[in-house]
């Protein structure tokens, strides 16, 4: 998630549309059974105090060569509370104040840096040189702000945990941290071109030695970068739409690059589908289009800036200027499938998954063999979606399975006040999705996914982030990171599924699909967690004793361990709790349900992304995104991970010192 998500910074935002809100429903269903155990009235505006206890013990470890997972300056925290009422054996760490520039893990664990921005990935890639950066070099080096992490075992189809491919997204860039002497608003073309190549995705082979230490294989045949210029194609109902055609590509199918790759998901057939999120920030000059051009209203709904962009890429590349190339942005905001095991595969943008600011794509096979894909639109008052294939998953037939994403139906969620919900199909010709209402085809519906969801009356949510099925209890966990606009004048007010006004801290919803069938079109739901300082009356932790839980705010990415425990990475605690972001673990079943404990704390200016376990759960990878954000190259607020400038977004690996399972060693 980028800094651009929560700061206006001249980015046009739009919450207009006809989507139903519970503020428009006569009866508010606030007293759900979740809230009866300790939450406050939903219409209140809540303020909390920060908890800023410092780590109690530090240990500095020397740095090794870039090709090895280098131990990072870290802290091992003394326990602050008893272990959870579950099978967790670690004791929660104390939260780190937002100025702390060391990572923190529980006693008995080690954290090491595996991959840094600029690490060379191929035999011909040059070593990183901050004073001599080029686009050509960056295209062969590890990209910038890492987000999603996916571990895919080697050999393909195995459950190996000692060797595999790491797929890492690179969401956006911080040029003020990347380049000495960078001038905001006036970048050089070389700087812009380096930024474009620093976006996208990395595929890299990694291996674990007998001591549990990870390194990457610089010479692997699998290593590659996808960037903002990589050739791609597009498929599904929108692929033939006129709005995908540009002066450089009259076919509309020769797509150039992928941008703002936030979270992603691994498919059951071993590919990765990466999510394009805040693509709007790269484009500019919407006001140059005539008001009667129908594309202008669509671009405005998606937040294309009316004038110059902050990045100023349009200064050197016409494709980012909406006046000169009004169709280029329609080619972004999709979900992109790539095959980590096949470097020759041309990535495909799958239009059946919809066009919006995608946060993650997570997969589940239904009892009938169809595949469900969950995703959120990460912006204030946007929606939760699910795609269900018409075809069925065929184990071992990867080519057939890769065609599943081009035949099915996209749904949007409506959360009813009584704890039930519906998945509403975005099907052209049905209900309001007709030519009379401005939709001309199924492809048109998908290009204008937000407008289609508005028309269907879907529930406007508090910035839907990661949405993932739990493979153990089969429930779906939906993360709403925050929404400080809820309840403000002219904005939708609190509702049952988004119960707090000016929601700074975020919440998590637990969904049960009817019949535990991920293809179901109805569901039930309840609030699992209302985040914040546990001492605040508005917080709720699935009914667990709040005096025993860690403070948490702005949940973002999630994952599950082998026992179905929920692990939560955060993005935004420095601005809410005055604490560094971190990783938290919480049981979702049994006597420890709701007992949230902090496992990891990050460094100044960063967020924590992409939590990913190896299949044996003995290694845990995290992406440390935008460390040092808020500073500049010349005036840094972080020197992580190497104690020098530039600060480098990196992937870290955490292991238990005794070689055991993470959280239970």
As a three-state string, the secondary structure of 144-176 is: CCEEEEEEEECCCCCCCCCEEEEEEEECCCCHH
Rounded average pLDDT over 580-608: 98
pLDDT at residue 589, as a whole number: 96
Burial of 288 (0-12, 13-18, 19+ CB in 10 A): middle
What is the pLDDT confidence band of residue 269, given thresholds at 50, 70 and 90?
Answer: very high
Running DSSP on this structure, what letter comes out for residue 284? Answer: B
End-to-end Cα separation, the chain, in angstroms: 31
Residue 143 CB contacts under 8 Å (≥ 6 apart), including other chains: 117, 168, 170, 197, 198, 199, 200, 201, 202, 225, 227
Rounded average pLDDT over 82-90: 69
Whether 431 has a pLDDT exceeding 90, the answer reads yes
pLDDT at residue 87, as a whole number: 81
CA distance 81 to 103: 19
Q: For strand 348-350 and strand 335-338, is the pairing parallel, antiparallel, or unpaired?
A: antiparallel
How many alpha carbons fall within 13 Å on the CB side of residue 14? 21
Residues in the chain: 665
pLDDT in tens, 522-545: 999 999 999 999 999 999 999 999
pLDDT at residue 326, as a whole number: 98
CA distance 327 to 320: 10
pLDDT in tens, 465-500: 999 999 999 999 999 999 999 999 999 999 999 999
Mean pLDDT, the chain, as a whole number?
Answer: 90
Whether 37 has a pLDDT exceeding 90, the answer reads no
Helix (H) or strand (E) holding 106: strand 103-106
CA 348 to chain centre: 20
Kindly state the tokens that stand for 646: 């530039």
What is the pLDDT confidence band of residue 75, given thresholds at 50, 70 and 90?
Answer: low
Task: Find the largest Cα–Cα distance for the chain.
Answer: 67
Contact of 298 with 448, CB cutoff 8 Å: yes
Rounded average pLDDT over 228-257: 98
Kindly state the tokens that stand for 335: 């979900």
Task: Enter the pTM of the model.
Answer: 0.91
Helix (H) or strand (E) holding 110: strand 109-116
Contact of 207 with 259, CB cutoff 8 Å: no
Whether 454 has a pLDDT exceeding 70, the answer reads yes
pLDDT at residue 68, as a whole number: 42
Can you name the residues that pair with 76 across neighbouring β-strands?
A: 105
pLDDT in tens, 204-222: 999 999 999 999 999 999 9
Query: 3-class DSSP state for residue 185?
Result: coil
DSSP H helices, 114-250, are 135-138, 175-178, 189-198
Helix (H) or strand (E) holding 295: helix 294-301
What is the pLDDT confidence band of residue 1, given thresholds at 50, 70 and 90?
Answer: low
Written out in words, the top-level CATH class of the domain with range 3-277+333-656 is mainly beta
The dihedrals phi and psi of 404, each to the nearest 5 degrees, come to -60, -30
Q: Which whole-number Å values give the CA distances from 268 to 160, 272, 370, 396, 607, in the listed order?
A: 16, 9, 11, 10, 28
Whether 664 has a pLDDT exceeding 70, the answer reads yes
CA distance 549 to 533: 9
Rounded average pLDDT over 596-607: 98
pLDDT in tens, 619-635: 999 999 999 999 999 99
């Amino acid at each position: 998630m980028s800094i651009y998500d929560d700061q206006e910074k001249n980015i046009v935002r739009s919450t207009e549309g006809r989507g139903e809100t519970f503020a428009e429903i006569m009866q508010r269903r606030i007293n759900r059974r979740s809230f009866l155990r300790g939450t406050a009235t939903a219409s209140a505006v809540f303020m909390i105090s920060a908890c800023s206890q410092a780590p109690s013990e530090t240990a500095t470890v020397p740095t090794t060569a870039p090709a090895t997972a280098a131990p990072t300056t870290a802290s091992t925290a003394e326990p602050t509370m008893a272990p959870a009422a579950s099978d967790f054996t670690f004791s929660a760490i104390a939260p780190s104040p937002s100025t702390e520039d060391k990572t923190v893990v529980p006693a008995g664990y080690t954290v090491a840096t595996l991959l840094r921005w600029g690490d060379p990935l191929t035999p011909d890639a040059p070593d990183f040189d901050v004073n001599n950066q080029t686009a050509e070099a960056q295209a062969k080096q590890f990209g910038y702000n890492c987000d999603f992490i996916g571990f895919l075992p080697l050999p393909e189809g195995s459950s190996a945990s000692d060797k595999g491919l790491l797929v890492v997204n690179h969401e956006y860039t911080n040029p003020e941290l990347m380049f000495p002497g960078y001038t905001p608003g006036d970048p050089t073309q070389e700087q812009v071109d380096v930024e474009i190549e620093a976006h996208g995705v990395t595929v890299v082979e990694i291996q674990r030695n007998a001591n549990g230490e990870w390194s990457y294989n610089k010479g692997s045949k699998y290593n590659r970068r996808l960037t903002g210029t990589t050739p791609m194609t597009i498929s599904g109902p929108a692929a033939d739409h006129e709005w995908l055609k540009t002066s450089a590509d009259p076919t509309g199918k020769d797509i150039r690059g992928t941008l703002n790759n936030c979270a992603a998901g691994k498919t059951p057939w071993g590919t990765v589908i990466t999510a394009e999120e805040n693509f709007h920030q790269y484009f500019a000059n919407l006001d140059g289009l005539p008001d009667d051009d129908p594309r202008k209203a669509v671009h405005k709904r998606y937040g294309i800036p009316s004038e110059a962009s902050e990045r100023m890429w349009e200064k050197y590349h016409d494709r980012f200027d909406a006046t000169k190339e009004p169709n280029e942005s329609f080619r972004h905001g999709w979900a992109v499938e790539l095959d980590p095991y096949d470097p020759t595969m041309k990535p495909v943008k799958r239009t059946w998954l919809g066009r919006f600011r995608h946060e993650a794509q997570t997969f589940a096979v239904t009892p009938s063999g169809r595949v469900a894909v969950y995703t959120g639109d990460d912006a204030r008052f946007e929606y939760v979606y699910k795609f269900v294939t018409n075809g069925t998953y065929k184990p071992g037939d990867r080519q057939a399975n890769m065609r599943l994403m081009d035949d099915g139906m996209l749904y949007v969620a409506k959360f009813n006040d009584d704890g039930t919900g519906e998945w509403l199909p975005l099907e052209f010709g049905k209900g309001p999705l007709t030519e009379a209402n401005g939709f001309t085809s199924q492809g048109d519906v998908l290009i204008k996914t937000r407008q289609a969801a508005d028309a269907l009356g879907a529930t406007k949510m508090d910035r839907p982030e990661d949405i993932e099925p739990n493979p153990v209890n089969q429930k779906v966990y939906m993360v709403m990171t925050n929404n400080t606009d809820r309840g403000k004048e002219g904005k939708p007010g609190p509702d049952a599924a988004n119960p707090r006004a000016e929601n700074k801290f975020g919440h998590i919803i637990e969904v049960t699909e009817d019949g535990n069938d991920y293809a179901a079109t109805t569901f039930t739901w309840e609030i699992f967690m209302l985040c914040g300082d546990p001492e605040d009356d508005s917080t709720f932790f699935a009914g667990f004793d709040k005096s025993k839980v860690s403070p948490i705010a702005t949940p973002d990415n999630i994952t599950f361990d082998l026992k179905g425990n929920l692990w939560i990475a955060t993005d935004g605690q420095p601005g809410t709790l005055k604490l560094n972001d971190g990783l938290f673990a919480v049981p979702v079943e049994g006597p420890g349900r709701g007992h949230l404990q902090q496992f990891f704390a990050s460094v100044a200016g960063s967020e924590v992304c992409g939590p990913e376990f190896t299949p044996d759960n003995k290694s845990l990878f995290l992406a440390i995104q935008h460390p040092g954000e808020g500073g500049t190259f010349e005036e840094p607020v972080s020197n992580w991970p190497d104690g020098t400038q530039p600060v480098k977004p990196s992937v870290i690996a955490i292991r238990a010192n005794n070689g055991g399972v993470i959280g239970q060693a």
